[in-house]
Amino acid sequence: MISSLTKYCHAFLVGLQGNIVYRWNFAFRGFSSLFHLIVVFTLWGAAYAGKSSIGGFDLGQTLTYFVLLLVLQFFIGAFNEDYQISEEIRNGLINQFLLKPINYFLYRFSIFLAARLVSGLLVLVAVAVALPFIYHHLTLPTDAWRLWLGLPAVALSAVIQFSIAFCFGLLTFWFLEIQSFVILSYAIETLLGGQVFPLDLMPASIFRISQFLPYYYQMYFPAAIFTGRIDRTQAIEGIGIQLFWAAALLGIAHLLWRRGLRRHTAVGG
Amino acid sequence: MGFLHYLRIWLACARYSIVRTMMFRFDFLMWSLVEFFWMSVNLLLVAVIYEHTDSIAGWNKYQMLLLVGTAMILQRLMMGFFWSNLFELGRNIRSGQFDFFLAQPGHPLFMISTRKIDPDSLINSIVAIAVVVYAVRQLGLHPGAVDIALYVALLACAIVVHYATVLLVVSATFWLIGSQGIEGTYFTIFEFSRLPREAFRGVTSVLFVYALPAVVVSNVPAQTLIHGFQPLHALWLLGLAVAWLTVAIFVFNRGLRRYSSASS
């Protein structure tokens, strides 16, 4: 057990070193995201003009939601993990993992955690730079339970995010080019994950349906816990559904891996 | 080399692009679907916000839809005619493949800008036009032939601004070889074009309305349809198109002089 953990700790450290090399790319991406925040602040600021609340939430709560979403995206969002996995399959680089006592999912997940640690810390720098201009808009509830339920929700979100990316990467066993699938899925995740607008602003029936889809638990759910958009009962119920999706996606990833390997042909030495 | 010569080159490239697209029909279908979905995301944002409010910076739902539709037409046309070409310019400069364009029978800027067209984006520009037509009908507007011609002319100016901005950004690769991903700046800048000009206040107004052409490109054509022709606004957009294109061509030509190929 411990030797197994050490193995993935090493993968994490290698991933950390590899991603620190790209620190400027992540920092550039983090600072570019501030422009998206300006769009969000401008649009929602204009929408709230003359109104104290939209959908039961004030401007500060909505803007805080989007700022937190940005931070979460850099800490737990899957960036290009699907492409990396796809490339490793296409170029035959996964062959080496088939001969070693290492679980490919856990190996990639360790690298994913390392990459997100680097990108997450760098986006905090970008947000810190923007803080003097936006802090008076930010408002966070102080209930302790939001932290205790929010943190496991963030961890499960990371598992869901990575598992979806992993499954899309594995599609390379069946399709030569997966880029269009990935971008289509990204569009669906962006919309149903609550990155375009808070999902609770949708009509009640559609919002209820969205709560049973995995996308809801990718970004909206942890952000909604921290920013006070859902209450304690909804949060506990949500964690149950989130656990189900995390387990289901891990199962699908395992199934795709086993089926995909049967189709895989390793050539060359 | 006259206009006809360049037209013939462009037609040959366009034909090649269409033949190539038809060879990969599933890919074409998927990419068309991807773009269509992204456009729907923007429309859904408008629909959801206007479920809770009647006006954003003085623009009602259908005026906003017209603005977003106009921004979508511009982006689809830009993606359809120029994006892949300019995106590949950066990559070609880094790899040295740019040599290939210098040996072609036309000005390098024309040759790199027109090599490919993307039919999936062009197909989706029809959807964007349909959004504008729908918004115009819902607003009860009845634009005449002259209004439509002016709208199209302003869109053409806006496309020039889009093109010049990407060219300017990508030309930086002549100096900054390791600037992968710099092309994405285009999407960052023009995300603002889906917002009404009146929503910007203070510094953001100075920066995104006056210093950068992000907001004007979509707002001026949309306002022409909504409120009628405003000569000052049209001149503003025309001036921007001329100025940005001049600067972009100047920077590209300076970069071209620096270009020394890559090792073989």
Indicate whether B19 belongs to any domain: yes
Asked if residue A268 belongs to a domain, the reply is no
In a domain, B264, yes or no: no
What would the pLDDT profile of B158-210 be if each residue is shown by its tens digit?
999 999 999 998 898 888 766 666 777 888 888 999 999 999 988 989 998 88
Q: What is the pLDDT along chain A (269 residues), one digit of tens a residue?
A: 677 788 889 889 988 888 888 777 778 878 888 898 999 999 999 999 888 899 889 999 999 999 999 999 999 998 888 888 998 898 888 888 888 888 999 999 999 999 999 889 988 998 999 999 888 888 888 889 999 999 999 999 999 999 999 999 999 999 877 888 888 888 888 999 999 999 999 999 999 999 999 999 999 999 999 999 999 999 999 999 999 999 999 999 999 999 998 888 876 55
**Is residue B29 in a domain?**
yes
Q: Find out whether B63 and B135 touch, Cβ atoms under 8 Å.
A: yes
- Categorize the per-residue pLDDT at B139 as very low, low, confident or very high, splitting at 50, 70 and 90: very high
Residue B263 in any domain: the answer is: no
Look at residue B146 and tell me whether its pLDDT is greater than 90: yes
Residue B142 sits in which domain range?
A: 3-258
A27 and B CB contact within 8 Å: no
By Cβ distance, the residue of A32, A48, A191 closest to B44 is A191
* B67-104 pLDDT tens trace: 999 999 999 999 999 998 998 888 888 888 888 888 88
Let me know if residue B109 belongs to a domain. Answer: yes
Selection from A121, A72, A90, A16 nearest residue A227 by Cα:
A72
* A183 vs B contacts (CB less than 8 Å): 34
State the pLDDT at residue A234: 94
Q: Identify the domain containing residue A11 by its residue range.
A: 2-263
Three-state DSSP class for residue B86: helix
**Contact A56/B at CB under 8 A:** no
Whole-angstrom distance, CA of residue A42 vs CA of residue A59: 11
Instruction: Judge whether residue B264 has pLDDT over 60.
Output: no
Our count of domains for chain B comes to 1
pLDDT at A268: 59
A25, A43, A190 member nearest B199 (Cβ): A43
**Distance between A87 CA and the closest CA of chain B, angstroms:** 18
Kindly state the tokens that stand for B259: 């270009």
Alpha-carbon gap: B186 to the closest alpha carbon of chain A (Å)? 11
d(C-alpha A126, C-alpha A120), whole Å: 10
A46 interfacial to chain B (CB closer than 8 Å)? yes
Residue ranges with strand state E in chain B: none
Q: Do B44 and A51 touch (CB under 8 A)?
A: no
Residue A190 lies in a domain: yes
Question: Count of domains in chain A?
Answer: 1
In a domain, A269, yes or no: no
B162 in any annotated domain: yes
